[in-house]
A and B are shown apart, each in its own frame.
Chain A
């Protein structure tokens, strides 16, 4: 069974631009969560989607948004990029939304904002 895939793996943008990251969950998984990883703040929860609905959201500004499609694939978008948005963005998928469901992580997308 293929794991969680994220595209692109690396991305370089400039301040003010917007970016869209993609995540394909493991086949059969319906829940997708996104995390931001930075050296200073560590791993922080962005949001979670299940059946195309956002179920939970972290403390990030409205510039960060996401969506989930009917095939469970998910995208996250960051508008008006800032230098501080440079980070590794990790996507995780699980069978369902309950806390006992194991989350499987993708390799991440490394975003650099210049």
Chain B
């Protein structure tokens, strides 16, 4: 079975500061990993995904994440936070070998951006 751990439930940064949201996964087989963002009263939007190609993945809105197998991590970063980045962020995992699309999500992290 696969699982995702997102440490902490809330991160607060100043506008222009580095954003770092942590995600660690557990999987018995190679995983696909995803980061989703959810704005209030909306569904989930895919930020980026790792599907066993390049370990450094670039996504939308200036976000990127690096897959580190040795650390079982897939942390999300953005060099400079913008007020519009305030939202809830979810890391998710699914199995490469799975003939299904089931996503297992972390608990989510709320990102606040201070002016």
Using a CB–CB cutoff of 8 Å, the interface residues on chain A facing chain B are 4, 31, 33, 35, 42-45, 48, 55-56, 58, 90, 92, 94, 96-108
Number of interface residues of B (CB under 8 A): 27
A90 contacts across to B, CB distance below 8 A: 43-44
Which residues of chain B from 78 to 101 have any CB-CB distance to chain A below 8 Å in the complex?
90, 92, 94-101
Task: Determine the main DSSP class of B at the interface with A.
Answer: loop
- Looking at A33, A94, A104, A105, which has the most chain B CB atoms within 10 Å of its CB? A105
Which residues of chain B from 60 to 115 have any CB-CB distance to chain A below 8 Å in the complex?
90, 92, 94-108
Q: Please name 4 further chain A to chain B contacts, defined as beta carbons within 8 Å, in addition to the given A33-B102, A94-B101, sorted by A numbering.
A: A56-B101, A96-B101, A98-B98, A99-B99
Known pairs A43-B105, A45-B104, A56-B102; A99 contacts B95 (CB<8 A): yes
* Contact, CB under 8 Å: B90 / A43: yes
